[in-house]
Structure 1
Amino acid sequence: MSSLFLRDDLAAVPHDVGDVVALHGDEAKHAVTVNRLRVGQHTSIGDGRGLVVHGPVVGASGSELTIAVTEVTEERMPGPSVWLVQALAKGDRDELAIQAATELGVAGVVPWSADRSVSRWAGAKVAKGVERWRSIVREAAKQSIRAWVPDVAELHSTRDLVRLAGSTRMLLLEPTASQALTDFSLDGEDAESDLVLVVGPEGGISVGELEALTRAGAVPVRLGSTILRTSTAGPAALAVLNARLGRW
């Protein structure tokens, strides 16, 4: 069974072919008790930043799992980077969006406190929410066997997004936009600039937010004639961009 586990300091320990790399703590416990890895089975250990070692398990206990390295791979993050700005949404819809976005190869996600967000992070909830999202993308990267774990930015306000729009190619997913995402040019002098997809909450991006962001340089684009939920709009747009960028 193919699987991936994470050790953040992998690059700092011996990890060449012939070395033995160990997992400890919760990662080892999950590998042994949940995934039921046993001696002789093959698995992979990565650092979440592109470095992955592969090999057979040579030791497995509740507190430690070790593999003998037979292959080392280093994967570069493809450019341009594609980020998802996901508005906070009620229930688990924002979490479903970032989980799917991770599986689809997003470089990072940005939690956004939009005008029409029903869910709100304030006080201690801000740090708790960011940490929750980091846990979700970490587990989704492992499940999809991604060499890169997406970054999770701090909570952004609309004012923060306006500043971000000035240094990136920002696309606002807006059903009423005149331009389709498939018609947006990915070429030109700024072809390597980061792409940032902005998805609003259940009620959509407000008129004031649309005006402020478009004045800052963001481009409204639509996906189709139907209205997608906030949990599916971002992943759908990422799938389109993956195809257009030649990643699929």
Structure 2
Amino acid sequence: MALHFVTDDAASAQPGDAVSLTGAEAHHAAAVRRVRVDEAVTLGDGRGVWLDAVVTASTPKQVDVRVTARAEAAPSTPRFVLVQALAKGDRDELAVQAATELGVDAIVPWQAARSVSRWDAKADKGLARWRTIVREAAKQAHRAWIPEVEGVARTADLVRLAGTAQVLVLEPSASVRLTEVAAEAADGREVVLVVGPEGGIAPEELAALESAGARLVRLGETVLRTSTAGAAAISVLSAAHGRW
């Protein structure tokens, strides 16, 4: 499979046009992935544009390609959103990476009551880190759309969201399995998966979300880590909605 790169210049490029990769993207292409002249690659803008191209020149500072074909991918519907609780170590980052590779459309960091990690004074840094992880994971997975990473949410934000979206809260003690409701029509609404931190979602948070219209669901008989629960749930949804 051809290597895939992302550049804003892909948005307007047409077959026959020349496009240049510079900066970190060029260094990655030439010095890390070692692309060569006449090698086939693909480019995208992260917003649905997909270009087939051939390398015409390759140096660590600039890689030039010639576009041979253009296509545009529509965004997926219904939209899958992962609300991922902040977690200690790199567990939330692993969750974000896997979710992106598996097809999530947007990610919301959640400062849950039991989150050990706190972004209060470093939200901008944390968001930048997650966005970098998402961008690289989307490139690795050859995705035409790079998922949005939205601002940090509090539980009150999720309660409001439950009034407009189909919110599914992953909770091991729930009586309903995700597989029982995954294929239900979203009625044009986005499907939001809520994953708690290492210590689980606090009882008062579960009660508030359920009262607002969210559904508590479980994945199976085992309890998954916060780093894997979202990825598993996205896989279930992708199969149920015909993406896979």
The reply to whether TM is greater than 0.5 is yes
| Mapping of residues 127-142 of structure 1, within 5 Å | 127-142=124-139
| Mapping of residues 16-27 of structure 1, within 5 Å | 16-27=14-25
Is 1:2–2:19 an aligned residue pair? no
The residue identity in structure 1 corresponding to 2:33 is: N
Partners of 2:210 and 2:193 in 1: how far apart?
A: 13
The residue identity in structure 2 corresponding to 1:51 is: V
Partners of 1:87 and 1:139 in 2: how far apart?
A: 21
Is 1:159–2:156 an aligned residue pair? yes
* Map of 1:144 onto structure 2: 141
More moved, 126-135 vs 55-64:
55-64
Partners of 2:9 and 2:19 within 8 A in 1: no
Identify which of 170, 174, 180 aligns with 1:183: 180
Partners of 2:80 and 2:191 within 8 A in 1: yes
* Map of 2:194 onto structure 1: 198
Partners of 1:192 and 1:111 in 2: how far apart?
A: 23
The residue identity in structure 1 corresponding to 2:7 is: R
| Mapping of residues 1-248 of structure 1, within 5 Å | 2-12=2-12, 15-123=13-121, 125-184=122-181, 186-188=183-185, 190-248=186-244
Number of aligned residues: 244
Deviations 1:97-145 (A, max 9, x none): 010000011001000000110111012x100000100000000001111
Unpaired segments ≥5 residues, structure 1: none
Where do 4+ consecutive residues of structure 1 move more than 6 Å?
none
Partners of 1:133 and 1:9 in 2: how far apart?
A: 23
RMSD: 1.1
Residues 1:58 and 1:81: Cα distance change in structure 2 (over 3 Å) = same
Q: What is the TM-score normalised by the length of structure 1?
A: 0.96
Partners of 1:137 and 1:209 in 2: how far apart?
A: 27
Task: Please state how far the C-alpha of 1:219 moved relative to its aligned partner.
Answer: 0.3
The residue identity in structure 2 corresponding to 1:29 is: H
Task: Please state how far the C-alpha of 1:186 moved relative to its aligned partner.
Answer: 3.6
The residue identity in structure 2 corresponding to 1:120 is: R
Task: Please state how far the C-alpha of 1:66 moved relative to its aligned partner.
Answer: 1.2
SS of aligned partner of 1:89: coil
SS of aligned partner of 1:22: strand
Deviations 1:43-69 (A, max 9, x none): 111100110211110011121111111
Partners of 1:11 and 1:55 in 2: how far apart?
A: 14
The residue identity in structure 2 corresponding to 1:165 is: A
